[in-house]
Amino acid sequence: MTRRTLEDLRAVAPRFTIRNMLEAVALLAGEKPVLRLVLGGSDISNARAVFEGLGLAVELSPWVLRTAYSTSLGDTYTLREHADADDSRDRVVMVAKGAALARRALSAETDDDPNNELGLLFGYPRCCVAAYERISSAHDWLANSLAATALDATCLADANRIATLFSEDWIGFDYFPCSLACRETERIARTVARLGRMAGFDDLIDRAEAAMGAPILLRRGVVLQLREASYVGGTVRCPLAGARLHAWTIDGDADNDPAWDADTVEASEGQIRFLANGRPVATATTTRTSDRLVVFT
């Protein structure tokens, strides 16, 4: 019943995403205090009808949102603007089990929020809420997360938000993990996966788990999602065939990188090597935010 209801909402409000559906499941189960959505026009009334039909309270911001800047990662950051009653632009929609809690979240969004109450109302980990403060137009969430992930860290598939650069597949709440080794993010993802399966979303969970477990390669400001990884001794090796690319902060001479002629990438002992037919064509020293092959557990 819940899946059909949420899918019906997604059909009439396309900006209500797959991850929003899973967040809504967590909200209904009491594992998430408040769900924040950004919707405009008729999507707002459609969402209100569905959520109120599920017994949830819906509070709408009296302001609208204006884009402040967007990033190469596809994220948009906004500013609040005064709105007339019939303004159809995007608004913040807070959904909770009680109207008081939804109103509290709206109030926290307009306050300075020195105690980071808003992120906690959304169920985000304290470590990730604090890390969010370091994100800016000059320092995006990917740089933030990679810089906080030690080269010898155990990277968790459940904290692999990078996977969302290639598809909508994500298990968890809609925030940026502080690092690829965040155990609190792992805990949330496992809770959401369990609840999602109980609600009949097995296919979405299976697909997301596969996407989030795929290795990630960083090279010359390009992010690549690879298909698989294997281990030979202390060396991790990944084929490059079928890789999916996302332009992040591309270096000016990236097009001429000999690494693009490779068919395999491998990493060990702080070095990353690109091979073509078994012969090296490029090598580099691994760093946290570039020339890095990330595999997940």
The pairing of strands 235-239 and 222-225 is unpaired
Dihedral angle computed from the Cα positions of residues 122, 128, 130 and 135, in that order, rounded to the nearest 10 degrees: -100
When pLDDT is cut at 50, 70 and 90, the band that residue 1 belongs to is: low
If we measure between CA atoms, which residue out of 204, 159, 150, 199 comes closest to residue 178? 159
User: Residue 6: how many CB atoms within 10 A of its CB?
Assistant: 23
Backbone phi, psi, residue 75, to 5°: -95, 145
Q: What digits encode the pLDDT tens for the residues 168-177?
A: 999 999 999 9
Q: What is the mean pLDDT of the chain?
A: 95
pLDDT (tens digit per residue) in 148-161? 999 999 999 999 99
Neighbour count for residue 284 (Cβ, 10 Å): 18
Structure tokens, 209: 């788990």
SS3 for 88?
coil
Rounded Cα gap, residues 46 and 27, in angstroms: 18
Question: Which pLDDT tens digit goes with each residue over 194-214?
Answer: 999 999 999 999 999 999 999
Query: pLDDT at residue 114 above 80?
Result: no
Domain ranges of the chain: 2-212, 216-294
Q: What's the confidence (pLDDT) of residue 83?
A: 86
Model confidence, pTM: 0.94
Q: Model confidence over 64-113: pLDDT tens digits?
A: 999 998 999 999 999 999 988 788 999 999 999 999 999 999 999 988 77
Tokens of 290: 């570039």
Nearest to 96 by CA among 123, 134, 59, 69: 59
In sign, the C-alpha dihedral spanning 273, 274, 275, 279 is negative
pLDDT at position 252: 86
